[in-house]
Chains A and B, each alone.
Chain A
Amino acid sequence: MSIADWLKQPWPWYVAGPLIGLLVPVLLLIGNKSFGVSSSLRHVCAACFPANISFFKYDWKKELWNLFFVAGIMIGAVLISQFFSNPNPVHLNPKLVEELGQYGINNSSNKLFPPELFNWNTLISLKGVVIMLAGGFLVGFGTRYAGGCTSGHSIMGLSNLQLPSLIATISFMAGGFIAANFLLPLILKL
């Protein structure tokens, strides 16, 4: 295998997970920042549409670091997709492949999302509205209501042994189990 091919390989969990975990001390040591992403959504609200809502009245400029952080996430993803993207489809459990096949979703492309579902045309279908618009809304509403997302609660909070973060993480998983196993099959049939 050439080096170029090797760099295009996806990483196993025991490589990627510890590296993600290392971002926790890195952010603390370079500026006392707690690892977290969903706060960026709030800063966008505070910066662009505060609308006199007290929840959005704070000095968001002091939290600019978080917007730099999420801009970095986007740039990192561009770099990989341009130069080191995996040419093969994601290696999936055959049971999932079979189930999704019933809904016309095939994991045949090398993309990390099903293009049949996530494209500009499906956005005007009921299925697309529920998955992309309602789904996104729930991500924004739910993370803020819970006080954090997978990064802030499940990684940063659990690393700091916070019981509230454990409760939040269990709730994330419970919601995800219900939606993936019972709601999504109905939505995909739309």
Chain B
Amino acid sequence: MKSIETINEKQHHKFLTDNTDFEVRSMDTICVNESELKHPFWHNLKYLGAGILFGIFLVKAEVISWFRIQEMFRLQSFHMYGVIGSAVVVGAISIWLIKKFKLKTMYGEQIEFITKKINKGQVYGGLLFGFGWALTGACPGPLYALIGNGATVIIVTLFSAVAGTWVYGYVREHLPH
């Protein structure tokens, strides 16, 4: 039993390090702790709550404003840099504390961080996303928030983003990474 677990863990680790996609959890589906951590459906409501908070923050900070994004890319306002910058400072201090005190999740699970690897996608994909961000004035989070905020036509933009993701998956093997 133990040896199987070790093998699984090794495979799992190899899988993670070989993987060039950095959407951690979406690939991280054979976590060794997984069986222990099967929760009933309603446990997901925690994430709904966290999402509601994020939606409130995004709207109140005007991060979802097309105008604010135009200001940011024209260096006409510090606002967006302040939002992202201070979020990173708080996030970094939090992660540092989590690592330093080896904090566990509320279920007592070890908190895992995945080391990302450099690949060309971060540059090519990053530039393409930058174009889309400036045109639509929205990154993925704000797309959802804008729909909630009454910009119903953004539903079309969201579907288009799903289509973009799908096409990426379709042509992925032919792209430089």
Q: Which residues of A contact B (CB under 8 A)?
A: 10-45, 49, 51, 53, 55-56, 58-60, 62-66, 68-81, 84-86, 90, 92-93, 95-96, 100, 107, 111-114, 117-120, 123, 130-165, 167-181, 183-184, 187
Q: Which residues of B contact A (CB under 8 A)?
A: 20-27, 29, 34, 43-74, 76-92, 94-95, 97-98, 103, 105-107, 109, 111-119, 121-141, 143-154, 156-170, 172, 175
Residues of A within 8 A of B56 (CB): 76-77, 79-80
Q: Tell me the minimal C-beta distance from B15 to chain A in angstroms.
A: 11
Q: Tell me the minimal C-beta distance from B81 to chain A in angstroms.
A: 8
Name A16's contact: one of B73, B83, B128 (CB within 8 Å).
B83
Given known contacts A10-B60, A151-B141, A179-B135, is B72 in contact with A141 (CB within 8 Å)?
Answer: no
Q: Tell me the minimal C-beta distance from B110 to chain A in angstroms.
A: 8
Tell me if B51 and A75 are in contact (CB < 8 A).
yes
Residues of A within 8 A of B77 (CB): 92-93
Tell me if B131 and A178 are in contact (CB < 8 A).
yes
Given known contacts A80-B55, A92-B67, A112-B146, is B165 in contact with A34 (CB within 8 Å)?
Answer: no
Tell me if A42 and B165 are in contact (CB < 8 A).
yes
Instruction: Return the chain B residue nearest A143 by Cβ.
Output: B129
What CA separation (Å) do A165 and B141 show in the bound complex? 17
Tell me if B128 and A138 are in contact (CB < 8 A).
yes
Tell me if A49 and B74 are in contact (CB < 8 A).
no
What CA separation (Å) do A148 and B125 show in the bound complex? 9
What CA separation (Å) do A143 and B163 show in the bound complex? 12
Instruction: Return the chain A residue nearest B27 by Cβ.
Output: A58
What CA separation (Å) do A154 and B167 show in the bound complex? 24
Instruction: Return the chain B residue nearest A58 by Cβ.
Output: B29
What CA separation (Å) do A187 and B136 show in the bound complex? 12
What CA separation (Å) do A134 and B23 show in the bound complex? 23
Residues of B within 8 A of A38 (CB): 23, 139-140, 165
Residues of A within 8 A of B109 (CB): 32
Tell me if B145 and A76 are in contact (CB < 8 A).
yes
Tell me if B156 and A142 are in contact (CB < 8 A).
no
What CA separation (Å) do A182 and B87 show in the bound complex? 29
Given known contacts A119-B153, A139-B143, A142-B132, is B29 in contact with A69 (CB within 8 Å)?
Answer: no
